[in-house]
Amino acid sequence: MVLGLTHAGAEDWARMRALQYGRLFEATKLKVASHALAAVASIWLFRDVAPLSMIFGWALLLGTVVAYGARVDLAMHDVTRHKLNAQEFRRQVEIAALTGLVWVAPVAWFTLHAPDSARLELWAILALLLTVSAVIIPAAPMATVAFAGTVGLPVICGFVLTGALPMALITCLFVATIMLGTIETSRHFLMSRLGEAGVAERNEVVSLLLGEYEEGDADWLWETDTNRRVRAVSRRFAYALGMEVSEIDGQPFVQLLAGAAWANGRFHPSMHDLAERLKRRERFANLPVQVVVRGEKRWWELSGQPRFDEAGDYAGFHGVGSDVTQARASSEKIAWLARYDTLTGLPNRMMLTEALGEAMLYAEQWRTRCAFLMIDLDRFKAVNDTLGHLIGDQLLARVSDRLKSLMSETELCGRLGGDEFAVVIRDASDLSRVSRMAQAVIDRLSEPYTVESHTLFVGASVGAAIGPRDGGSVEELMRNADLALYRAKDGGGGQQCMYEPALLAQAEERRKIEFAMRHALDRNEFHLVFQPVVDTGDEAVVSFEALLRWENPELGTISPAKFVPVAEDTRLIVPIGDWVMKQACIQATQWPRHVKVAVNVSGEQLVDANFHNCVVSALAMANLPAQRLEIEVTESIFLRDAAGARLALERIMALGCSVALDDFGTGYSSLGYIRKLRFSTIKLDRSFVQGAAVGNRESLAVARAVVAMADSLEMATTAEGVETEAELALVRKLGCTKIQGYYYGRPMAAAETLTLFQKDRRKAG
């Protein structure tokens, strides 16, 4: 690689040759001078033994070749810019070889005509010339090697021809030494050139980076002396302070950053931190400092370290700085978004969790109690569904404002998500205070709202848990407050409920029920029982209500009151309801043709897109006429999706099925739906039947109103829960058309239902 014989034209080859030959022009004068002196010495030797014409002809030829070579060498001064190519490299070697051939002429002439002493003198001149070339021209090693070889080989041959073998051997060794020395010298020269180039490149990069750094928009250099006064002020630093360089030089560093606040000492604590680090001569990095620039507070990020002179004495500080005001504002915004709800501006779940954790630590430290209230809005979904999410969001903002108005310094309210809110009470030593807060929340949030000309009514339910009594961790306390809220919602809403250990047991039971229910259908754990409904006049069975029962090997007999709500919440009611529908239709085919089967359907089933197909499939599988299937629904179906429920029922009625309204009057009631939907039957809840039988005036009035309304709308009425002679006499007197209750039969297995018709046939016979 030193000689340049390999990889010609490659990037590394061109770079190496450029580094070598870039210094060649510096030795051109010495090269010309050495040849001139050698030529003068040779002419002096020729003066008596060769014709003058020959001497001057040779001298002229040598001068021409050397001059041409010098011209080529001088052209190499800018080779580092465009890099040496292979053609230029060969030209250098060719010129060196040509110069050597010119020097071979006197060698050949002296070998043939001159005495031995003259030959030795000429060889001494050539040896000196070779030595000078090897020493002063390391930039072109291949050219020097070519020159040495061209000159040395004829000399060796001359000594051999004249019989001077020792001189031939010495000359051979000398030429070889010159060549090897040239290569080694050139190697050291090339290494030094590479080192110089590396240093130059690093200096250039550093200068470039410093230039870019100093000219940047947000970064600057700063430096102080031993008295912490600014020295070597950079333009960017002055610009960042809004001052001129001359105004800053020599000023106290901390005072400059503090601005007008320096006079009264009321500057940000970060400034004290900076001053202490400078005082202790302590290195620091990325230190955030609040500074005052033109009266405006900004955030800078400073890095610095102490500097020392050559004697090791402290000489001040130097470092870099940047304005991070925008970045800090962005990070603060991100931090705010991570801890606050964007819609209401209230603390979000993360911040509430942190606040509750701090409250629990405080309670543990001071042996007090804290509380967590979980709040859920009642009837909020109806607002979203009817008026849209824009109105709903505005309503949530109004709710948050009302919540904030109820809070004191030791209480924090926030939004968990959706229509769920929460309150953290730091000091709940007085438990009555928790109850008062819960009731205040219910009362305040239940007041009417006016949103874009709409008057809205929503309520609130509250579940509360006391820490550490109801939970030793944040997760436990929040879970238990949620269980209490679930109990409050289950009670109809608008209530507050305090956590009790029984709620956790109920939740665990609910979890077990849900887990077992997911496999109940596959394991054939469900079965149906049927309760007869009789005609009030002749007491003949006109229909059966299909009732679902569940027997689990581990949990035993599970009440429908427990597992049906779980099935509805988990939507397992859809596949279970499909199974019930099919089994009920199959069983109905075993009864007389005039007897119907009634199947209870939940709101979850009605809003399912496949419900209509489920009914059609069940009727087709059992080959049961649609007129013999009655669908029973409760008024609660109209609370979730009134339009969807109405459409589903209308499609079922179009098939020929009848629809009965169950538990009428016990919950949400709307006479509008009774008018729009042609129910076949209205079922009077057992609470009204039993209340009217014992003389309760309200129950009797409701019962009479329901029967009268049904008659006017040409609907049948079924009295539920008839168990005694007195209740039977009452419902007959009221005019109910059908009766259902223990008086005529308890829910029975499918096989037992057939015995009722066998008895009727025996009576008829």
Residue 209 confidence class, pLDDT cut points 50, 70, 90: very low
Residue 194: per-residue pLDDT: 59
Pairing assessment for the beta strands 526-535 and 541-552 based on DSSP bridges: antiparallel
**Interval 674-689: pLDDT, tens:** 766 778 999 988 888 8
How far apart CA 287 and CA 321 sit, in angstroms, is 9
Lowest mean pLDDT among 331-340, 463-472, 646-655: 331-340
Q: Which residue has the higher pLDDT, 243 or 19?
A: 243
Question: Per-residue confidence at 639, pLDDT binned at 50, 70, 90?
Answer: low
Please tell me which residue, 234 or 394, carries the higher pLDDT value.
394
pLDDT digits (tens, 9 = 90+) for 113-129: 666 666 667 777 777 77
- What one-character-per-residue DSSP string does 354-373 give? HHHHHHHHHHHHHT--EEEE
Instruction: Summarize pLDDT for 496-522 with one digit per residue, the tens.
Output: 999 999 888 888 888 899 999 999 999
Please report the pLDDT score of residue 10 as a whole number.
Answer: 46
Quick one: pLDDT band at residue 640, thresholds 50, 70, 90?
low
Instruction: Tell me which residue of 532, 569, 597 sits closest to 748, measured CA to CA.
Output: 532
**Is residue 605 within 8 Å of residue 635, measured between CB atoms?**
no
Q: How deeply is 318 buried, as exposed, middle or buried, from its count of CB atoms within 10 A (0-12, 13-18, 19+)? A: middle
| Lowest-confidence pick of 70-79, 489-498, 550-559 | 70-79
Secondary structure element (H or E) that encloses residue 111, with its range: helix 86-113
Q: Across residues 740-758, what is the average pLDDT?
A: 90
Task: End-to-end CA distance of the chain: give it in Å, rounded.
Answer: 126
Query: pLDDT tens-digit profile of 253-275?
Result: 888 888 877 777 777 888 888 98
Mean pLDDT of 285-299: 87
The backbone torsions φ and ψ at residue 610, rounded to the nearest 5 degrees and listed phi first, read -95, 5
- pLDDT bracket for residue 634 (50, 70, 90): confident
Pick the CATH number of 216-331 from 3.20.20.10, 3.40.50.2000, 3.30.450.20, 3.40.50.12160: 3.30.450.20
**Domain limits, the chain:** 11-199, 216-331, 342-499, 512-760
The HSE-up count of residue 543 (CA atoms within 13 Å, CB side) is: 24
∠482-485-490 over CA atoms, to 5°? 130
Q: How confident is the model at residue 216 (pLDDT cuts 50, 70, 90)?
A: very low
**pLDDT at position 377, please?**
95
What average pLDDT does this structure show over 294-311?
A: 86
Fold assignment, 512-760: TIM Barrel (3.20.20)
For residue 759, the model assigns a pLDDT of 59
pLDDT tens readout for residues 333-361: 777 778 899 999 999 999 999 999 999 99
* Residue 1, pLDDT score: 46
pLDDT cut 70: percent of the chain above it: 82
pLDDT tens, position by position, 519-551: 999 999 999 999 999 999 888 999 999 999 999
**What per-residue confidence (pLDDT) applies to 236?**
82
Mean pLDDT estimate for the chain: 83
Whether the per-residue pLDDT at 212 is higher than 50: the answer is no
Position 368 pLDDT exceeds 90? yes
Q: Please give the pLDDT value at position 341.
A: 92
Check residue 115 and give its pLDDT: 64
Q: Are 164 and 120 in contact (CB under 8 A)?
A: no
pLDDT at 48 over 80: no
pTM: 0.52
If one compares 666 and 463, the residue with the highest pLDDT of the two is 463
Domain 342-499 sits in which CATH superfamily? Reverse transcriptase/Diguanylate cyclase domain (3.30.70.270)
Residue at token pair 């052209």: 75
Picking from 43-57, 208-222, 471-485, which range would have the lowest pLDDT averaged per residue?
208-222
Radius of gyration, alpha carbons of the chain:
54
Q: What percent of the chain has pLDDT over 90?
A: 39
Structure tokens at 500: 């009790």
Q: What is the pLDDT of residues 606-627, one digit of tens each?
A: 888 899 999 999 999 999 999 9
CB 376 within 8 A of CB 423: no
Residue 463 neighbours by CB distance under 10 Å: 27
Report whether pLDDT(765) > 50. no
